[in-house]
Amino acid sequence: MVFTSNQVCPIEVYEWDRTLFWFYQGGPSNTLPPLSWAARLKIAQGAARGLMHIHECSPRKYVHGNIKSSKILLDDHLQPYVSGFGLTRLVSGASSKKQNSHQVSTNSVLGSKASANSIAYLAPEARVSGTRFTQKCDVYSFGIVLMEVLTARLPDAGPENDGKGLESLVRKVFRDERPLSEIIDPALLHEVYAKKQVLSAFHVALNCTELDPELRPRMRTVSESLDRIKSQ
């Protein structure tokens, strides 16, 4: 989708070679070195601003409805672009005409081929088929993406996460006051100067993934919090 001053218009775009997901989970085809902390923070800040714009660009309070690392496109300068906004509504077809423009149903996400990979990004309240997404659901999904950026782990309950979802694993490390080295991407361990910034970013991610949606911040607050991290 592309934004203008007073409307949102679908346009045709070419396939991008790189997404945030590809950087961490691209397999043998990904021969690039690990992203630096500065690059990761830049990506997180840009993605947060993009999602904030979706939420605030119209009084209709748009919802993305499918935020995940594979929806964060990266150009050659690692500038992030939030993709996929509106596609859920287009795929939903006629049924979407019965919904308000700012609402997206979980049916279109849970019923997709990639549902197994998408579930971990869904807010707990959005995991019931037919539930309407809210902007706070997007905030939860962004928090999971931010945890991916910080840990380079998949968000689902795989072996690398000790059978727990990434959110549960990160929250347990902080609750038990265990060393950050247990959860952080090892590629970041040598960037000692950034430890305080990384810790602050984890706290932003934890706030985004609060069980109670009312306790989650708005995306504007998330964006401002990430922007302040750079000055720490």
Eight-state DSSP code of residue 56: H
66-89 pLDDT tens trace: 999 999 999 989 999 999 887 555
Domain CATH for 220:
1.10.510.10
Q: Domain count of the chain? A: 1
Whether 104 maps to a domain, the answer reads: yes
**Among candidate residues 41, 50, 91, the one with its CA nearest the CA of residue 202:** 41
- Local structure of 41: helix, strand or coil: helix
What pLDDT is recorded for position 16?
59
Question: Is residue 5 assigned to a domain?
Answer: no
- Give the residue from 207, 206, 198, 216 showing the smallest Cα distance to 171: 206
Answer with the residue of higher pLDDT: 29 or 36: 36
In a domain, 102, yes or no: yes
The angle formed by the CA atoms of residues 140, 143 and 147, to the nearest 5 degrees, is: 145
The pLDDT-based confidence of 128 (bands split at 50, 70, 90) is confident
Q: Output the average pLDDT for the chain.
A: 82
Mean pLDDT throughout 208-228?
98
Q: How many CB atoms lie within 10 A of CB 52?
A: 21
Coil/strand/helix, residue 75: coil
List, in sequence order, the alpha helices (H) in 106-165: 107-110, 115-118, 135-151
Q: How far are the Cα atoms of 50, 137, 225 from residue 115, in angstroms, in the given order?
A: 24, 16, 31
In a domain, 8, yes or no: no
Q: 2 in a domain, yes or no?
A: no
- How far, rounded to the nearest angstrom, does the alpha carbon of residue 14 sit from its chain's CA centroid? 22
What is the extent of the structural domain holding 169? 16-229
Structure confidence by residue, pLDDT tens digits, 169-181? 999 999 999 999 9
Within a domain: 219: yes
